[in-house]
Amino acid sequence: MKQKQKEILKAVHRETGEPHGEMTELYPGIGITFFSVSGQDSFRFCHEPLAHVMEINYCISGKIGWNMYGGNQIYLGSGDFSLNTMDTCVNSIVTLPNGSCEGIVICIDLEQLTDAPPMPLAGSSVTGELLLEKYCKGGTCTVLAGNEIVQQIFQALYQSPEETRTAWQKVKVLELLLVLSGMEVSREKHLTEYRSEQVEIIRQVHDQLIENLEQRCSIESLSKQYLMNPTTLKNMFKEIYGTSIAAHIREHRMEAAAQLLQSTDLSVADVARKVGYDSQSRFSDTFKRHFGVLPKEYRKNLRK
């Protein structure tokens, strides 16, 4: 199991070029690793189709998504986690809507968990068959927003003191398995799973807005242009990119304005127009809320 997990991580490293921490074996058949990817929109994820190994993915920060069986796409934001066997995401394209993500991967050999569980779980109801039936039946992937108990468990996996971290991880992984085995999993608790065609539309909306920051587009006009219900458009955009359309575009407008103030001699009024503001005073107020200083002060400080 440990050797197989290392081979999987090597495959991911070959495809992404990103560093991954070594898999730490907590118990026979149970390992944990941390990942951090940035500076790209997507990468290919390749590994063997291990139907007996369950993967628990937890997103610490950022946003991550990937194609699942049947053409659906699933996204994790900060605090979300997913459970699936490693035959459901073979050779998939992983996307980073915001350009980066940090997270945790826990791999569990379900057969070994049933046949030779860690001593504290021996004789309990926690088995590989139970977890497989509850979360991964029929090759499905379960995606959930973490509740307070689950969040505390995951946070302890990476926030505990370094000198006792492995000990905490051993304790907390067993606690996680106990919680998962007893958790009521209703459809209402599942995060939304979208068709890849819908996700592609949201990406087109995003790209159009980012490439035309000087223009103002309403939700209604976008929904008519892309033939998508306004509520669906807003909800999907927030789930994929982590913020509302307005907040996301405002972030890009402010970053573009800062770049113009730094690299050009355009007046503040001209900069405001180039990033979609007809009112210089409104632009200046928004800029100050974002950067803590007015545009003129920002430029002056840079040139000092």
pTM check: above 0.75: no
| Shared domain check, 58 and 136 | yes
Q: How many domains does the chain have?
A: 2
Query: In which band, very low, low, confident or very high, does the pLDDT at 193 lie, cut at 50, 70 and 90?
Result: low
Q: CB neighbours (10 Å) of residue 137?
A: 10
What pLDDT digit, counting tens, does each position of 73-95 carry?
788 888 889 999 988 877 777 88
Name the domain boundary from 139, 168, 191: 191
Compute the residue count for the chain. Answer: 304
Beta strands 92-95 and 42-45: pairing type? antiparallel
> For residue 196, what pLDDT is reported?
60
Structure tokens, 22: 């070594």
Name the DSSP class of 96.
-
CA 34 to chain centre: 13
- Which whole number is the average pLDDT over 44-72? 82
Q: What is the pLDDT of residue 2?
A: 47
Domain boundary among 145, 172, 191: 191
Which CATH number goes with the domain that contains 216?
A: 1.10.10.60
Residue 176 near residue 120, CB atoms below 8 Å: no
Same-domain check for residues 142 and 54: yes
Tell whether 174 and 217 lie within a shared domain.
no
pLDDT at 263 (0 to 100): 93
Kindly state whether residues 13 and 37 are assigned to the same domain: yes
- DSSP annotation string for 131-176: HHHHHSGGG--EEEE--HHHHHHHHHHHHS-GGGHHHHHHHHHHHH
Predicted confidence (pLDDT) at residue 71 exceeds the cutoff of 70: no
The packing angle between helices 280-291 and 245-263, to 10°, is 90
Q: For the residues of 165-210, what is the DSSP string, one character each?
A: HHHHHHHHHHHHHHHHHH----GGGBPP-EEHHHHHHHHHHHHHHH
Pair (33, 145) in one structural domain = yes
Same domain, 141 and 246: no
| CA-closest candidate to residue 223, choices 240, 252, 245, 242 | 245
Q: Is residue 13 scored above 60 in pLDDT?
A: no
Residue whose tokens read 């991880």: 169
Residue 95 shares a structural domain with residue 202: no
Rounded Cα gap, residues 255 and 257, in angstroms: 5
At 211-228, the pLDDT tens digits run 999 999 999 999 999 999
Question: Could you tell me the end-to-end alpha-carbon distance of the chain, in angstroms, rounded to an integer?
Answer: 58
Query: Final residue of a domain: which of 191, 206, 235?
Result: 191
CA angle 239, 185, 166 (to 5 degrees): 80
Q: How many Å apart are CA 38 and CA 99, to the nearest integer?
A: 6
d(C-alpha 184, C-alpha 84), whole Å: 17
Same domain, 245 and 146: no
Mean pLDDT over each residue of the chain, to the nearest integer? 85
Measured from the Cβ of residue 197, the count of other Cβ atoms closer than 10 Å reads 9
Asked whether 23 and 1 are in contact (CB, 8 A), the reply is no
- 131 and 43 share one domain: yes
**Region 111-138: what's the mean pLDDT?**
93
- Which position has the token pair 């996680």? 176
Query: Could you tell me if 222 and 233 are in contact, meaning their C-beta atoms sit under 8 angstroms apart?
Result: yes
Q: Give me the pLDDT at residue 205, please.
A: 93
Q: Are residues 157 and 186 in the same domain?
A: yes
What's the domain range around 259?
196-303
Encoded tokens for 43:
């990468």
Per-residue pLDDT of 255-278, as tens digits, reads 999 999 999 999 999 999 999 999
Q: Which CATH number fits the domain that encloses residue 7?
A: 2.60.120.810
Average pLDDT rounded to a whole number, residues 34-62: 86
| pLDDT attached to residue 12 | 40
| Residue bearing tokens 């290919």 | 44
91 and 35, same structural domain?
yes
Say if residue 94 is in the same domain as residue 128. yes
